[in-house]
Structure 1
Amino acid sequence: MGYLTVKWLHVMSSTLLFGTGLGIAFFMWKAHRTGDARVIAATARTVVRADACFTAPAVLVQFASGLWLAHRLSMPLSVFWLKWALVLFFFVGACWLPVLWLQVRAHRLARAAAERGAPLPAGYHRAMGWWYALAWPAFAGVAAIFWLMVVKPAG
């Protein structure tokens, strides 16, 4: 693959990563605000699938294409902006991996409540509290990575 093709894949995967993450967060938040276990279960099921189909592959393409581009340009990973982009990438991943588990947990708890016609359990609310707490720093990290990729500050 040529440089411009890989660069295009890198930009597209970063866009997909941010856009899917923002969409998932929006729809989970809207469903959560209804308090309706059926709505939450259906939305969370879709969110989990979207993360598997779009976010996870975008993360892999983003990482692989970024390393390939740096190697192709003979750019050491110690370059200020690139080093911090990688630090943030792993920070975002450290937030995102628990979020995946929390989404699955929220889905299961909401589905079980909906099947029983019961209110959402305390475990659901704890899971969503952690989900929100981890989502904000992850989004800030992704936004900072975008800024680093565009501005490329020398440090």
Structure 2
Amino acid sequence: MSAYALLKFAHILSSTLLFGTGLGTAFFMWFTWRSGNLAAIAAASRLTVRADWLFTTPAVLIQPITGVLLARLMGFPWSTPWLQLAIALYLLTGLCWLPVVYLQMRVRNLAAGALIAGQPLPPACSRLMNLWFALGWPAFLAVLGIFWLMVAKPTLWT
């Protein structure tokens, strides 16, 4: 297998893991949260945090490495507009994702504590989940934009 094919495979696979894990965990986390079932919320938030560490984090690290190597191998200058926009959207996604990971860990800890204590979720959980939900949308839309840019490679500005 050529270096290009191997890098492209790793880049596509890691982007698939990044997007799929993000969308899947967000779906289960949000709808479990809306159920109000404390045991389910504790389990879903625990597994969401675990999925982020096992799947999302490695993909987040692999994406820029393979992306830089592919851009160099293919001869794309860093001044290429679609590439600059893709990098900006990737950074935006990261700026949303880092606080989301922290929020998920806080919700996980609060839900586990409430479950052990036999108490309801503290009101802080609602604020954390609302912020988590709000940060998820720009990240999701940015990733869709990155996918489009990678496929279309449009001429944006000169």
Q: TM-score, normalised by structure 2?
A: 0.95
Residue number in structure 2 paired with 1:12: 13
2:98 alignment partner AA: L
Residue number in structure 2 paired with 1:52: 53
Residue 67 of structure 1: how far off its partner (Å): 0.4
How many equivalent pairs are there?
155
Percent of aligned pairs sharing the same letter: 51
**Alpha-carbon distance between aligned partners in 1 of 2:74 and 2:146, rounded to the nearest angstrom:** 19
Residue 80 of structure 1: how far off its partner (Å): 0.8
Residue 154 of structure 1: how far off its partner (Å): 1.0
Worse-matched range after superposition: 89-98 or 26-35: 26-35
Residue number in structure 2 paired with 1:151: 152
1:127 alignment partner AA: L
Residue 116 of structure 1: how far off its partner (Å): 1.4
Residue 118 of structure 1: how far off its partner (Å): 1.2
Residue 74 of structure 1: how far off its partner (Å): 2.0
- The answer to whether the aligner puts 1:129 opposite 2:130 as a matched pair is yes
Secondary structure at the counterpart of residue 33 of structure 1: helix
Residue number in structure 2 paired with 1:114: 115
Worse-matched range after superposition: 96-105 or 112-121: 112-121
Secondary structure at the counterpart of residue 21 of structure 2: helix
Residue number in structure 1 paired with 2:88: 87
1:13 alignment partner AA: S
Q: Deviations over 1:19-64 (max 9, x none)?
A: 0000010110121011122111111111100000000001111110
**Alpha-carbon distance between aligned partners in 2 of 1:147 and 1:72, rounded to the nearest angstrom:** 21
Q: TM-score, normalised by structure 1?
A: 0.97
Stretches of 4+ aligned residues off by more than 3 angstroms: none
Q: Deviations over 1:75-123 (max 9, x none)?
A: 1121011000000000000000000000000001111111111111111
Residue number in structure 1 paired with 2:67: 66
Secondary structure at the counterpart of residue 149 of structure 1: helix
**Alpha-carbon distance between aligned partners in 2 of 1:25 and 1:130, rounded to the nearest angstrom:** 13
Gaps of 5+ in 1: none
| CA RMSD, 1 decimal | 0.9
Worse-matched range after superposition: 115-124 or 142-151: 115-124
**Alpha-carbon distance between aligned partners in 2 of 1:16 and 1:152, rounded to the nearest angstrom:** 22
Gaps of 5+ in 2: none
1:120 alignment partner AA: L
